[in-house]
Amino acid sequence: MEERILRLNIAGQPIEWLHWQDAVCLYARDLVAWSLGGSVRKVMGGYARCSGVRSQITLPAIIACGGSRIARYRQIPPLTNRALFARDNHLCLYCGKTFSSALLSRDHVHPISRGGRDVWQNVVAACKRCNQRKGNHLLEDIDMELLALPFRPNIAEYLALINSDRIRGDQMEFLRPQFSEHRNWH
């Protein structure tokens, strides 16, 4: 799997994951203000007409970008099933068993049909069996309980969740101090 580059805004707040091609474009447009971490990839360019020297750029694991339009810091990460299942460690938060993503579903603790919202603090990963059993009931009305409380990850946690299968040590080292205290990361 291809490594990605962690993009920060000029203040050092994490923004997004980039493919190496996008990072090269940011360097070409002179928008990279500073960088951290080890080398992700060395990219070779063309040959200079006068000198015959081939251009090259070594892309670091983390780049901070400035420019006239600074990337906006996102306060609330988007709610996706992939990130939700990663947040809950691929566990059904009702029965406690581990499942693949294909066998999990998003359950609304307070059902939408009863005024609940589709937000991080109201959703958990649930196996299809438990989700069907719960239906649109409130937990206090049936014999089911949650194994953990749902929470909204901050943006650093979210970026680690959605890229957990290919995150580098230097990138995790940068993100980890920004994680919430209640999250136990391996």
Residues 6+ apart with CB under 8 A from 119: 79, 152
Confidence bin at 183 (pLDDT 50/70/90): low
Averaged confidence pLDDT in the chain = 91
Quick one: average pLDDT of 124-144? 94
Residues 6+ apart with CB under 8 A from 81: 101, 104, 105, 106
Q: In this prediction, what percent of the chain has a pLDDT beyond 70?
A: 92
Q: What is the pLDDT of residue 186?
A: 46
In whole angstroms, what is the distance from residue 44 CA to residue 18 CA?
Answer: 18
pTM beyond 0.85: no
pLDDT of 185 over the 70 cut: no
Q: What is the pLDDT of residues 26-80, one digit of tens each?
A: 998 999 999 999 999 999 988 889 999 998 999 999 999 986 555 566 678 999 9
Q: What is the pLDDT of residue 71?
A: 56
Instruction: Name residue 108's beta-bridge partners.
Output: 123
